[in-house]
Amino acid sequence: MKAVCWEGRGDVRVETVPDPTLLNPRDAIVRITSTAICGSDLHLYDGFIPTMQEGDILGHEFMGIVEDVGRGAANLKKGDRVIVPFPIACGHCFFCMHDLYSCCDNSNPNAWMAEKFYGYTAAGLFGYSHMLGGYAGGQAEYARVPFADVGPFKVPDHLTDEQVLFLTDIYPTGFMAAENCNIQPRDTVAVWGCGPVGQFAIRSAYLLGAGRVIAIDTVPERLKMANEGGAETLDSMDPDVFYKLRNMTGGLGPDACIDAVGMEAHGPHLDYVYDKVKTMTFMATDRISALRQAIHACRKGGTVSVPGVYGGLLDKVPFGAAMNKGLTIKTGQTHVHKYLPRLLRYIETGEIDPSFVVTHRVSLDEAPDMYRTFRDKKDGCVKVVMKPH
Amino acid sequence: MAVAAMNYEGRVNVGRVERWLSMVAGGALAAYALKRRDKPGGAVALAGAALLYRGATGHCDLYQQLGINRAHGNGAREFGTGVIADRGSDTREQLGGGRGIHVEESVTINRPLSELYRFWRNFENLPTFMNHLESVSTREEGISHWVAKGPARMSVEWDARIINEVENKVIGWQSLDGSTISTAGSVNFGEDAHGTRVTVHLQYNPPGGKLGAAIAKLFGEEPNQTIREDLRRFKQLMEAGEIPTTQGQPSGRKRRPSYTGTKA
Ligand SMILES: NC(=O)c1ccc[n+]([C@@H]2O[C@H](COP(=O)([O-])OP(=O)(O)OC[C@H]3O[C@@H](n4cnc5c(N)ncnc54)[C@H](O)[C@@H]3O)[C@@H](O)[C@H]2O)c1
Ligand SMILES: [Zn+2]
Ligand SMILES: [Zn+2]
């Protein structure tokens, strides 16, 4: 089959690889009909996540038709149309039982490696480094899905791929980011980053009762999309973001701040240059200007919610501000499974149509170009969906 | 150990990973991790470490943990986490006064205690999650025969007997006199807020020479990690019904196999 492989920093290629097979009783094989590129893939593409190996198959936002099922996944059958959550979860450990699916204890074959980095391992993820499982991803014609009796979620035929595909990751991610804000009616929520995650965070914040959302980014078409979602916008390259936020909130600051940017933030301030130098010289692993600003801007007693991905050690985190202002910080890889029934209902009732983020529809062969376009935010690119079949 | 001990077949940028590790894990752990990998033939180093450990802790509570007797009497009188058996089963005697390597690892499993106990007590099951074991068979009541995969297709075999058993609580075993390997161990089961806690204590004393090196390798350069991985697989098997793997999945690597998968 054809698959999108990571071949080094800034180098992905479409290669011909063997078809996947069932390896464990609870596995299923899915023939992929739609698969997306995520902002998280850019962290791999840019070489920010360690333990990638040349030839690794990328992709964790995919859906399709069940092609083969192991005897331990009897609730699925050939022909079922499913979306596949990006974290791999066993469904039976303490964490899965508590809806903390992305913290599953039993799905990372390389748990020991993650333990060296993090103390304890999180769930294995599709196509997201060896430390997080080393699983082949879903930017391919087929994928093997472990614990298929727990992960794959059947979707109704009357909804299109593009309407349900983002249940795999970015829609629940934006939703969990907003849910983590503990939004009270009429709260103001500020969202850093208007990529796909930020877009879903904006809409979810309103859905959960926010009175006002202020979105921060510098890419015009992304700001426009945020605006269409009801957000007021600020330019992240404007050195006065903090002051503007303060004035927009009557001197209080936003009730909650969402960092939907993650470890490769850009920024207008000197701290960005500092981060850039430090990460380039291996003295820090992450560039964190958005997170700093979110903590700094948040009102006293407010919440900073961090869906943005961080990898390792963050330098100059304003923890004093967080402590003295009594902030709550919430974060995590998304517990996708937990949100599926609820979010599917919103799609079915027309509360939201997630396909609004899609700007590029291409074949698998165009992956190398699309990674570049998406990373460079060229051509109005917000979300790429690839059609392997 | 650590990242360095991975079976790097591909051209992974080890330097970058190590640097990342050392940043993340902080100096001490990383320095330890990186230094350890240069040590040849783990046996000497390990024995040294074990001696150091013993030196530092004095008389350890091993026998208590292993459920080994110092007093007379038979039957299962509970004693700490362990239980009293008969006098001759003192591992300190067999292991020459308690020398050797001692490992303790714990895991919490979200399954009923009795189910876990039953699975473990059936020693034939152990090789399903202990990768270095080839087979365990029961010879006669209380005596079992253990075959482990050694390096270079050399297998190491020994007989062990149960020296201690309290249902749903503890199983203790010890190699018979004159075995190629001197080993004693115990597994304790206890209820915990988050499931059943399973704790393994293992002590072994590799003989000198070639065989000793083979045995040392058997338990890994880091015996703690080896036992930890065994317990992890036990948990995975009992909770998830299978051990997660990526072995056999496709990749774009032409010849070079993946450097990860299930850790031995
Ligand atoms: N927690 C999870 O489970 C989860 C799931 C999916 C994605 N993510 C993470 O969420 C983040 C966003 O994902 P995405 O797909 O939207 O990525 P993306 O790259 O498309 O979007 C990031 C956006 O942030 C903007 N940005 C950069 N620096 C900024 C700054 N200082 N202030 C404001 N905006 C800034 C960029 O212009 C870009 O539009 C990534 O870190 C991704 O890894 C996390
Ligand atoms: Zn993603
Ligand atoms: Zn689990």
* Per-residue 3-state assignment (H helix, E strand, C coil) for A207-244: HCCCCEEEEEECCHHHHHHHHHCCCEEEECCCCCHHHH
Identify the bridge partners of residue A312 per DSSP, sorted by sequence position.
none
E strand or H helix at B174, and its extent? Answer: strand B170-175
Phi, psi of B156 (to 5 degrees): -110, 130
Q: Is B202 helix (H, G, I), strand (E, B) or coil?
A: strand
Interface test with A, best of B128, B229, B238, B242 (most A CBs within 10 A): B242
pLDDT band of residue B130 (cuts 50, 70, 90) is very high
pLDDT band of residue B221 (cuts 50, 70, 90) is low
pLDDT band of residue B93 (cuts 50, 70, 90) is very low
Q: Please state the rounded mean pLDDT for residues B13-35.
A: 41
For domain B90-240, give the fold.
Answer: Alpha-D-Glucose-1,6-Bisphosphate; Chain A, domain 4 (3.30.530)
- Give the separation between CA A72 and CA A125, rounded to whole angstroms: 20
**Which residues neighbour ligand 3 (ion) by CB within 5 Å?**
A 89-90, 93, 96, 104, 106
Q: In what order do the strands lie in the sheet with A12-16?
A: A12-16, A2-6, A56-57
Taking contacts as CB-CB distances below 8 angstroms, the residues of chain A near B256 are: 55
CB contact under 8 A, A94 and B240: no
Specify whether the CB–CB gap between A108 and A89 falls below 8 A: no
Taking contacts as CB-CB distances below 8 angstroms, the residues of chain A near B251 are: 5, 17, 55-57, 136
pLDDT in tens, A215-254: 999 999 999 999 999 999 999 999 999 999 999 999 999 9
Which chain B residue's Cα is nearest to A149?
A: B240
Specify whether the CB–CB gap between B204 and B226 falls below 8 A: no
Residues of chain A short of pLDDT 70, as ranges, are none
Q: Which residue has the tokens 């190629």?
A: B180
Q: Which of A18, A54, A312 sits opposite B250 (nearest CB)?
A: A18
pLDDT band of residue B166 (cuts 50, 70, 90) is very high
| Interval between CA A177 and ligand 1 midpoint (Å) | 12
Say what the pLDDT of residue A173 is: 98
| Prediction pTM value | 0.86
Q: Which of A6, A134, A163, A145 is nearest to A66 (CA)?
A: A145
Helix B27-38 vs helix B14-25: crossing angle, to nearest 10: 140
Taking contacts as CB-CB distances below 8 angstroms, the residues of chain B near A116 are: 2-3, 21, 24-25, 29, 33
- Tell me the CATH class for A171-331: alpha beta
- Tell me the CATH class for A2-169+336-387: alpha beta
Q: Which of A192, A332, A312, A298 is nearest to A263 (CA)?
A: A312
Q: What is the token pair recorded at B136?
A: 């365990």
ipTM value: 0.93
Interface test with A, best of B246, B247, B255 (most A CBs within 10 A): B246
Say what the pLDDT of residue B83 is: 33
Q: What is the largest CA-CA distance in chain B?
A: 64
Q: Which of B160, B163, B190 is nearest to B176 (CA)?
A: B160
Say what the pLDDT of residue B13 is: 37
Say what the pLDDT of residue B48 is: 25
Domain ranges, ordered by start, for chain A: 2-169+336-387, 171-331
Domain ranges, ordered by start, for chain B: 8-66, 90-240
E strand or H helix at B94, and its extent? Answer: helix B91-94
Residue B23 predicted with pLDDT over 70: no
Interface test with A, best of B18, B36, B251, B253 (most A CBs within 10 A): B251
pLDDT in tens, B52-66: 222 222 222 333 344
Cα angle value B23/B24/B29 (rounded, 5°)? 90
Closest atom of ligand 1 relative to the A197 alpha carbon: 16
Say what the pLDDT of residue A284 is: 75
Give the count of Cβ contacts less than 8 A between chain A and B: 155
Alpha carbons within 13 angstroms on the beta-carbon side of residue B19 total 13
| Interval between CA A226 and ligand 1 midpoint (Å) | 14
Residue B92 predicted with pLDDT over 60: no
Q: Which of residues 240-299 of A touch B (CB under 8 A)?
A: 282-285
Say what the pLDDT of residue A305 is: 98
CB contact under 8 A, B6 and A113: yes
